[in-house]
Amino acid sequence: MNYAKALQAVEQLMMETVESEVEVLRDASRHILAAGGKRMRPRMTLLAYEAVGGTDMDAVLPVAAAVELVHTATLVHDDINDHGLMRRGRQTINAIWGRTFALLTGDFLFTKVYTLMAPYGDLNVIFAQMTSELVEGETLQAAAAKEGKLNREIYARIIAKKTASLFAGAAKLGAKLGNGTPQQVEALYQYGFHLGLAFQIVDDILDLIADSQRLGKTAGLDLAQGKGFAVAVAGNGHGTTVAVAEEPTEDAGAALKRKLLEGNYIQEGRQQARQLAALAKQQLESLPPSAARDELARLTEAAVEREY
């Protein structure tokens, strides 16, 4: 099975995994899964596996699917907390089915991750660690936003936990399963970690500058809620205090956005992201040449140069 086929197989497996006699859980799960997404995390698991010489793609599919499902579970719960109405170009689960069912669908996806990971013994330790960090990162973000205390340092901790740990773990899991050497496993972990940081900074910038339609989700929410890169840099070291609205409103978002676009923040963010992506790419030098390694390199560029 080649990489493209494997990516399709991951989609198929996720759809099968969320089968349930409870219709709303199945329908809501499939609703968000069918909306697609960049699938960065399962891509990394599959490619890391191949890059260290793994050949039995079937063996890695459940792990790749689990990584994407745990990410999806947190998106569903994020949309509840952020009152998000659009996600991946579709209405969010909370917008369609309401908060209660959105919360339960997220929980359901969490439980299905256990099902997929059950056969993988020790890999569960890595999986548990990264998932736990992810939730810690989300919580740090919510706490910083609530207290209006987001700054560069806290922002760095937040994105390391909420995004980079899952990217790093996704790559590490693939590398471990493919029987990579300890050096290769570490290199792919570092690759994922740096790429995750870069990816999140770009995500936050796009939240600021892209429009909702292109982005496929409600734009400007982070800003209005006191989250993200722009708030972090503008709220610290620049003498700018960013007031945070209790509930996101058009006005608060628009005013903050104007303020931030006037500064140099967007360019600074893109620049930081490029540096981090370059660090990610460097890690690949310790791997033998392969189509998978090339694709991992390509991902570092795609992640930072994207416009949505």
Which residues here bind its own copies, judged by CB under 8 A? 20-22, 24-25, 73-74, 77, 80-81, 99-101, 103-104, 106-108, 110-115, 117-119, 121-122, 124-125, 127-129, 131-132, 134-136, 138-140, 142-143, 146
Residue type for 88, please?
Answer: R
Q: Which is closer to its own copies, CB of 117 or CB of 273?
A: 117
Q: Which of 68, 56, 79 is nearest to 169 (CA)?
A: 68
| Shortest Å, Cβ 246 to its own copies | 11
Residue 115 to residue 14: CA distance in whole angstroms: 11
Cβ proximity to its own copies, 144 vs 198, nearer residue? 144
- How far apart (Å, rounded) are the C-alpha atoms in residues 121 and 142? 33
Residue whose C-alpha is closest to residue 232's, from 160, 176, 153: 153
With beta carbons less than 8 A apart as the criterion, state whether 200 and 162 touch: yes
**Whole-number minimum distance, CB 134 to its own copies, in Å?**
8
In 3D space, the residue among 296, 307, 272 whose CA is nearest the CA of residue 40 turns out to be: 296
Q: Return d(Cα 88, Cα 93) in angstroms, integer.
A: 11
Nearer to its own copies, 18 or 47 (CB): 18
Burial class (CB in 10 A: 0-12, 13-18, 19+), 104: middle
Q: Nearest distance from residue 133's CB to its own copies, in Å? A: 9
Min dist CB 87 to its own copies, Å, is 16
- Nearer of residues 21 and 250 to its own copies, judged by Cβ: 21
72: left (phi over 0), alpha (psi -120 to 50) or beta: alpha
Specify the residue, 248 or 269, whose C-beta has the smaller distance to its own copies.
248
Q: What is the closest distance, in whole angstroms, from the C-beta atom of residue 84 to its own copies in the complex?
A: 13
Q: Report, in Å, the least distance between residue 29 CB and its own copies.
A: 11
- 22 or 261: CB nearest its own copies: 22
CA pair distance 18, 266, nearest whole angstrom: 39
